[in-house]
């Protein structure tokens, strides 16, 4: 149970509604002795923050405050509580449609599940909740970096435009992606993606895409057979991000169309180490990491909030009505989803390393 | 932790190695008062059992024995322990290659993780472990049926051949699939799929595919925000099945290429109930079931055991070698994977219904 | 894992150090639709608050702030985050002894476990952490009251003085206890207890005692065999409170000296219901509640912080030294421990009722 | 949830009814590479087995069979499944009273909880279930021994007779206890205890007592603040054993009557190590082990099955009736409870050591 907590040893609990007082998280199980300051976290929050030509107009400062678990710049091994106040909240546009269920949103399902409705900006189902995940993920990434493991992501596809990263190193991919408004390291594709997004905005519509995240330099041996396999754990983490409708590892759905002789990665010796010549497995075999890069891709659906008129139901009147969703929405959330997927992947890898005994209880 | 357990209230623990004495499972949390007999479970095990023209030659009777939790034909609410003896075990072909890691298998990763190797038929990483899942899933399915919920699956794609189910009802899909050797309800596609499989076998190769599972008539309100969303939970369940490399819900990866106006399912009133006109969401919005059919698809990689020579490493000699995997293997495991995916989906839905309070502690 | 979380369905996570910025908690799994306001919580916090003739001189206002999970006065079913700022913090007296381990405290063990020391007022091991438990427990109590279940406690024993409640009703016990500075409903005993406490203070010493908590009107059927029995769960909850060294249910250790014929509670029919004539079982048989009052007792050790000189070790010098613990400490924490034990018991009962399906997901 | 599982990393699931086919357990999370054979487990089971002058007449061979998780004499890191067939089952005496609830037993509460009754010998609530715990505990003890940690227990008190162990070493206590029919290391007390038991048997009555278990040489640093403190975890483990009504650590309830200056254990340097001069804390401070012996005591109620007539209810007739419990019962279960308490304590310590990273994933 406990749907708002994630992780086994490195365990994150998030809380907060979009238009409530604040959002936040508590990390239980972070090793003691890790240098932590708010800057590390702020950097990642700023990557997720609304803003830019292509994004929503909600202007949140998203300033994180650490309330516990850190003393004299180091983690204590006790829970790290972090808080981000909600400041630029405008519930007005939501009030008008508070009896209507927005198509593609969780309005209807939350109402069925909880018998009550927080109509203010999507409430707990809002993507604003992911700010808390990013804050927790920042600490996971920071912890992983101490052990030489890096997590980076980019927009692999937006609005049907697929990017090409052949020949790019992990570092190039990550750096180039950060320079781009759409978080795509391939400049040509990035330009086309922007066009797709701006076109969708003009039409009052939206587009989706695919986020890819790479774990560079992971240790072999991560993942718990048979149910908490590393790929299963990653799928759980990533499919639980708002708007994600598909997850794949390595060759993924493409593997389903390959022959065994094509898909199997030959095992070789390289620099005196057992390695794999190709990486269709995406770094995971039998649910356990094999030491190669871990590759995860997430299918992100188009933003459900669109200004085109849509058919829906007014639940108080129990009548069909037309809805036009105003509010402040991104025509494409893929670029902002990148740090969120990274955060969830980082938490999984940090937790799996702790489970495997590769990160001690104190540093 | 506890990688060999799955579920929250309806919780399954499996155990057993491919060539050990037996495999089995323990279900904790099944409601009391449910009529249970071995026939219910045997029926599902027989669907997963090796055999048929297209399958491995291991001839396991797979006879299940219930050891606890059932008294006078009814569940007691106490743990249901089930056991299947391993009978037709032949470890000989594995002994020859016990110092080699089979490409595409978990041999290397288990060795790294556990520092020890059970070379007999894949040990715990063998697909034989899924017999225990199917036994547990049979009880979950049986429980769901009491509440009017059905779970059925089929081969959506094999060796690149995609089947078409347009216009078929759930019952037609399921019944037709069961009549087919490849578990495909579309006769034309089924024939082509068989050809692909037999061709792969002739070449000493293998093919993969896509399994689709449908939950018919699920209640709305299932799934726990924000991490244990129903789709996240299903992804966890399904990605943890051996050979699965991708999972999608509803339109899945296709949704990433749609516009918001195309992907959003209009909300309507039908027979006095709030329903959805289309089902791109695959029955899940904001991680909570919306009452429409739940659609899950799993990408299954081609069987890694192929008789073609492959490059690998002998870890005792730390030298590269060629391997030819003999043993008894299916050139395509997709048909046998169908009941396994069904089982995992059924366990998730049963558990989610119990979490939501829709199944009582005793019937 | 996740040592800072407690509960299964009704699940509480606490955070915060004694002299950090704040302490707080997150409740995940509280049913939706419960009327909640800060007054309900403040009332319980005020009962635990330092103050009074017999208590520590730290003057915390302990004002609770609800940050999420409540909208228009009702719970949303989403996490309820609560925060209490630490205001009257004076770390000075602790700085002097920051290289010494206080006997009877967790200074040494936290240092061994985490390799780092938060010497400010006991850090996470401080009893201040229990403010967050009381806040969470207030909501559990409030929820239970909706279902006719009450939780009340008192000081059964202090400094060797045992109180007598024979002939008092639950309501009398609870009301009389609240009127007394030592939370003892028996006026004569209360007077003697106060004397013991004041005597200990004069000597620079401290006394312990026994807290008793009664659950009035609990439903039968709570508790999960075989490990999460209701008594086991209560023992887990109560032994985890700072300073508790023993827990017993019903006749408890006294039962170990009885004969079966004395200890067994006869089963009778009363008002058409199956009931028990006596209650040596303390309301729990075979780990499951039997419908009678649940009786839990906790042995509370004397406050370890005393101003008498004690022998200890300076870990930087690795030398034995004498320590005099100044700070602001209660010579007896039993009265203030009462609401803390009540809080933990209430959380267990609320959680067990939800597990048994006796409290729905929304009210 | 999952009341039939126990532990976090070293996690045990038990199953089986008293008069069902078998009882058993599955251990998930035992490190790989541990030498395991059935003899290790059989030895502990034989200690718990019915028999002897003072015990029940049920004659179970209690022969354990390992079904998985061990290969070539070593643990694989995969689940260890163990099974003990129920052979000497005689449900006859229970059939006569199957509509009556035995006082002091779980008959009534299981019926309320599960709405169904397994009247055969107590079903799941029978002490027979503890055979599976002892099997799992045997492996935990064996694992601990590899790390120099020993777990031993004895009858501290039976029928009001308290034993004296002053001046005895851990080894003497354990060895002397094993030589005694009542598991009491103090010969004089043992004799008196036997008399009390035989007297109770003659009267058709029963007696209870106190089991004490000592963990010798535990590492400091075990236990997870703030809820899963080591003492809380031990209390959970031990209170969940059938018939236990109280648990205490170190001075326990006696501490409640001491002054702080008496109860605090002075901290000293001994052989260059930080140690404690006395051990009122029972090896645990602030919920974390301090390196001294861990002392746990359990209050065991008198066996509820007595042949004296007792008042109870026939639930089919809803009428009060007299019951005489025949069956085969021990007039005192304290001696047989000793290995059960040891088993649970061993599992807790093994799990806590794994959580603290002091036992690796493979040996």
Give per-residue pLDDT as tens, B40-65.
999 999 999 876 566 666 677 899 99
Name the percent of chain B lying above pLDDT 70: 96
Contact between residue D178 and residue D208 where contact means Cβ atoms under 8 Å apart: no
Q: C340: which residues sit within 8 A by CB, 6+ positions away?
A: C48, C130, C133, C134, C137, C241
Q: Is residue C363 part of a domain?
A: no
Task: Please give, rounded to a whole number of angstroms, the shortest distance from the CA of D361 to a CA of chain A.
Answer: 7
Assign B105 a pLDDT band (cuts: 50, 70, 90).
Answer: very high
Average model confidence (pLDDT) for chain A?
A: 95
> Does an H or E element contain A27, and which?
strand A22-28
pLDDT of residue A92: 83
pLDDT band at C156, cuts 50/70/90? very high
Q: Could you tell me which residues of chain C have a Cβ less than 8 Å from any Cβ in chain B? A: 1, 9, 78, 225, 355-357, 360-361
- In this predicted model, what pLDDT tens digit does every residue of A82-103 receive, in sequence order? 999 998 788 888 888 999 999 9
Inter-chain residue contact C235 with D247, CB threshold 8 Å: yes
Burial of B45 from C-beta contacts in 10 A (0-12 / 13-18 / 19+): buried
Average pLDDT over residues B170-190: 97
Residue A164, domain extent: 5-355
The arithmetic mean of pLDDT across residues B153-174, rounded, is 98
Average confidence (pLDDT) over D131-143: 98
Q: What pLDDT is recorded for position B1? A: 67
DSSP SS3 for B346: helix
Query: For residue C224, which of A300, B361, A33, D123 has the smallest C-alpha distance?
Result: B361
Cα separation, A73 vs C332, in Å, equals 35
Chain A residues whose CB is inside 8 A of the D219 CB are none
* pLDDT at residue A94, rounded to an integer: 86
D11 Cβ neighbours under 8 A, 6+ residues apart: B1, B2, B5, D5, D27, D28, D29, D351
Integer Cα distance of D106 and D104 in angstroms: 7
Q: How confident is the model at residue C55 (pLDDT cuts 50, 70, 90)?
A: low
Search chain D and give the residue with CA nearest C286: D106
Let me know if C293 is exposed, middle or buried by CB neighbors in 10 A (0-12, 13-18, 19+). Answer: middle
pLDDT at D305: 94
DSSP tag of C199? H
Helix (H/G/I), strand (E/B), else coil: C64: strand
Mean pLDDT confidence for D42-62: 78
Min mean pLDDT across A14-28, A195-209, B41-55 is at B41-55
Closest CA to C23 of C72, C95, C89: C89
CB D221 within 8 A of CB D166: no
Q: Is B212 helix (H, G, I), strand (E, B) or coil?
A: strand
Using the beta-carbon criterion (under 8 Å), do D357 and A361 form an inter-chain contact?
yes
Sheet strands (E) in chain D: 5-6, 11-15, 22-28, 64-66, 70-71, 74-75, 80-85, 150-158, 161-162, 209-216, 244-249, 267-270, 273-276, 284-285, 288-289, 294-300, 310-314, 319-323
| Pick among D220, D351, D357, D361 to test the A interface (most A CBs inside 10 A) | D357
- Contacts with A32 (C-beta within 8 Å, 6 or more apart), sequence order: A74, A75, A76, A77, A361, A362, A363, C114, C115, C116
What are B210's strand-pairing partners? B157, B299
A183 lies in a domain? yes
D75 vs chain B: nearest CA distance in angstroms?
A: 9
Preceding omega of B226 cis (within 30 degrees of 0): yes
Neighbours of B204 (CB within 10 A): 15
With a cut of 80, say whether residue A50 has pLDDT above it: no
Question: What pLDDT shows up at residue A182?
Answer: 97
Best residue in B105, B196, B226 for a mutation probing chain A (most A CBs within 10 Å): B226
Q: Is the confidence at residue A2, as pLDDT, over 90?
A: no
Digit-coded pLDDT (tens) for B239-269: 999 999 999 999 999 999 999 999 999 999 9
Express each pLDDT in B67-96 by its tens digit. Answer: 999 999 999 999 999 999 998 788 888 888
* Confidence label for A328 from pLDDT (cuts 50, 70 and 90): low
User: Cα–chain-centroid distance for residue C33?
Assistant: 27
H-run or E-run covering A43: helix A38-48
Residue A58 has pLDDT above 80, yes or no: no
- Please give the pLDDT value at position A317: 95
Number of domain units in chain A: 1
Given this model, what pLDDT does residue D56 score?
A: 60
The CA distance from D280 to A222, in Å, is 42
pLDDT tier for residue C12 given thresholds of 50, 70 and 90? very high
3-class SS string, B22-67: EEEEEEECCCECCECCHHHHHHHHHHHCCCCCCCCCCCCCCCEEEC
Task: State the distance between the two ends of chain D, measured CA to CA, in whole angstroms.
Answer: 31
pLDDT at D337 over 80: yes
Distance from the Cα of D94 to chain B's closest Cα (Å) equals: 15
- Whether residue D322 is contained in a domain is answered as yes
Q: Which of A223-227, A258-262, C91-95, D354-358 has the lowest mean pLDDT?
A: C91-95
CA distance B79 to chain D (A): 5
What's this model's pTM, rounded to 2 decimal places? 0.98
Closest CB to A285: pick one of B106, B206, B355. Answer: B106
**A361 lies in some domain:** no
Q: Is the pLDDT of residue B138 over 80?
A: yes
Q: Do residues D214 and D151 lie in contact, with contact meaning Cβ atoms separated by under 8 Å? A: yes
Is residue C1 pLDDT above 90, yes or no? no
For residue C360, the chain B residue with the least C-alpha distance is B357
The rounded distance, in Å, linking the Cα atoms of B38 and D43 is: 34
C9, C11, C13: best to mutate for the A interface, most A CBs within 10 A = C13
pLDDT at res. B93: 83
Length of chain A: 363
Q: What is the pLDDT of residues B306-330, one digit of tens each?
A: 999 999 999 999 999 999 987 667 8
In Å, what is the CA distance from A253 to each residue of A342, A356, B294, D325? 21, 29, 20, 64
Mean predicted confidence (pLDDT) in A217-239: 98
Q: What is the pLDDT of residue C120?
A: 87
Predicted confidence at residue D121, as pLDDT, reads 85
- Give a yes or no: residue C362 inside a domain: no
Residue A350 is assigned to a structural domain of this protein: yes
Indicate which of C68, C69, C77, C139 best probes the interface with A, i.e. most A CBs within 10 Å of its own CB.
C68
> Does residue B284 have a pLDDT over 80?
yes
Query: Virtual CA dihedral for A352, A358, A361, B4, nearest 10 degrees?
Result: 40
The CATH number for C209's domain is 3.60.150.10
The Cα of D13 is separated from the nearest Cα of chain B by a number of Å equal to 8
C-alpha to C-alpha distance for B244 and A248, rounded to whole angstroms: 9
Distance from CA of B147 to the nearest CA of D (A): 19
For B64, residues 6+ apart whose C-beta sits below 8 A from its C-beta are B38, B41, B42, B45, B82, B83, B84, B135
Q: How many CB atoms within 10 Å of residue C112?
A: 20
State mean pLDDT over B141-148: 98
What's the whole-number mean pLDDT along residues D125-142?
97
pLDDT tens by residue, A108-150:
999 999 999 999 888 999 999 999 999 999 999 999 999 999 9
- Tell me the pLDDT tens digit for each residue of D227-274: 999 999 999 999 999 999 999 999 999 999 999 999 999 999 999 999
Residues 6+ apart with CB under 8 A from B237: A227, A232, B6, B344, B345, B347, B348
Whether residue A361 and residue D356 make contact (CB cut-off 8 A), yes or no, is yes
**What pLDDT does B99 receive?**
94
Specify the residue for token string 């065991």: D300
Would the pLDDT of B202 be above 70? yes
Cβ-contact C349, C133 below 8 angstroms = no
Residues of C in contact with A123 (CB under 8 A): 71, 76, 78
pLDDT at D53 over 70: no
Q: Which residues pair with B215 in a beta bridge?
A: B151, B294
> Residue D89 — very low, low, confident or very high, per pLDDT cuts 50/70/90?
confident
Confidence class for position B174, pLDDT limits 50, 70, 90: very high
Q: How many helices (H) and strands (E) does chain C have?
A: 9, 18
Q: Range with the lowest mean pLDDT among A69-78, A233-242, C88-97, C238-247?
A: C88-97
DSSP 8-state symbol, D106:
S
Q: Which residue of B lies nearest to A5 if distances are taken between CA atoms?
A: B227
Q: What gap in Å lies between CA C299 and CA D252, rounded to an integer?
A: 7
- Residue B301 falls inside a structural domain: yes
Per-residue pLDDT band for C327 (boundaries 50, 70, 90) equals low
Question: A307 falls in which pLDDT band (50, 70, 90)?
Answer: very high
Under 8 Å CB-to-CB from A86, ≥6 apart: which residues? Answer: A16, A18, A19, A20, A21, A22, A23, A60, A128
Specify the range with the lowest mean pLDDT, choosing from A324-333, B49-58, C21-30.
Answer: B49-58
Quickly tell me which residue has 């490195």 as its tokens. A10
Measure CB to CB from residue B274 to each of A108, A221, A258 and give the nearest one.
A108
* pLDDT beyond 90 at A226: yes
Q: What's the pLDDT score for residue C51?
A: 63
Q: With cut-offs at 50, 70 and 90, classify the pLDDT of residue C212.
A: very high
What pLDDT, on the 0 to 100 scale, is given for residue D175?
97
pLDDT in the model for residue B54: 65
pLDDT in tens, B106-126: 999 999 999 999 998 889 999
Is C361 inside a domain boundary?
no
Residues of C whose CB is below 8 A from A67: 15-16, 20-22, 24, 83
Asked if D78's CB is within 8 angstroms of B123's CB, the reply is yes
pLDDT at B51: 62
Whether residue B153 contacts residue B234, with contact meaning beta carbons closer than 8 Å, is answered with no
Segment A336-351 mean pLDDT? 98
List, in sequence order, every residue forming a beta bridge with C288; answer none if it has no partner. C285
Identify all chain C residues contacting A80, using CB atoms and an 8 Å cutoff. 15
- Can you say whether residue B226 is alpha, beta or left, with left for phi > 0 and alpha for psi between -120 and 50 degrees? alpha
pLDDT value, residue D88: 77
Q: Is the pLDDT of residue B219 over 80?
A: yes
C53, pLDDT greater than 70: no
What is the pLDDT of chain C when averaged over all its residues?
95
Residue of B nearest to A4 (CA): B226
**Is residue D93 predicted with pLDDT exceeding 90?**
no
For A302, B3, B84, the CA distances from B338, given in Å and listed in that order, are 30, 22, 20
């Amino acid at each position: 149970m406990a749907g708002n907590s994630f992780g086994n040893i490195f365990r994150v609990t998030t809380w907060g509604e979009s238009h409530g007082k604040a959002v936040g998280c508590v990390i239980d199980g972070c090793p003691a002795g890790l240098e932590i300051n708010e800057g590390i976290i702020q950097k990642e929050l700023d990557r997720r923050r609304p803003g830019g030509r292509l994004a929503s107009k909600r202007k949140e400062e998203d300033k994180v405050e650490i309330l516990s678990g850190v003393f004299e710049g180091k983690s204590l091994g006790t829970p790290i509580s972090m808080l981000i106040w909600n400041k630029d909240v405008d519930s007005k546009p939501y009030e008008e449609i508070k009896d209507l269920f927005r198509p593609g949103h969780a309005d209807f399902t939350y109402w069925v599940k909880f018998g009550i409705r927080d109509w203010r900006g999507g409430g707990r189902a809002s993507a604003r909740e992911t700010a808390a995940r990013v804050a927790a993920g920042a600490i996971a990434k920071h912890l992983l970096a101490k052990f030489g493991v890096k997590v980076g992501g980019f927009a692999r596809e937006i609005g049907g435009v697929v990017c090409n990263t052949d020949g790019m190193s992990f570092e190039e991919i990550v750096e180039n992606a950060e320079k781009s408004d759409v978080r795509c390291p391939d400049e040509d594709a990035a330009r086309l993606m922007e066009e797709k997004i701006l076109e969708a905005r003009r039409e009052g519509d939206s587009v989706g895409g695919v986020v890819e995240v790479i774990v560079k330099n992971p240790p072999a041996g991560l993942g718990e057979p048979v149910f908490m396999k590393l790929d299963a754990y990653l799928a759980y983490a990533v499919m639980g991000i708002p708007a994600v409708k598909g997850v794949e590892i390595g060759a993924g759905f493409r593997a389903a169309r390959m022959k065994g002789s094509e898909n199997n990665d030959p095992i070789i010796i390289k620099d005196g180490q057992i390695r794999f010549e190709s990486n269709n497995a995406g770094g995971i075999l039998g649910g356990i990491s094999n030491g190669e890069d871990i590759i995860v891709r997430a299918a992100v659906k188009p933003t459900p909030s669109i200004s085109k008129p849509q058919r829906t139901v007014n639940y108080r009147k129990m009548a069909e009505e037309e809805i036009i969703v105003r509010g402040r929405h991104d025509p494409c959330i893929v670029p902002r989803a990148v740090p969120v997927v990274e955060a969830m992947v980082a938490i999984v890898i940090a937790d799996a390393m702790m489970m495997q005994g590769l990160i001690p209880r104190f540093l």
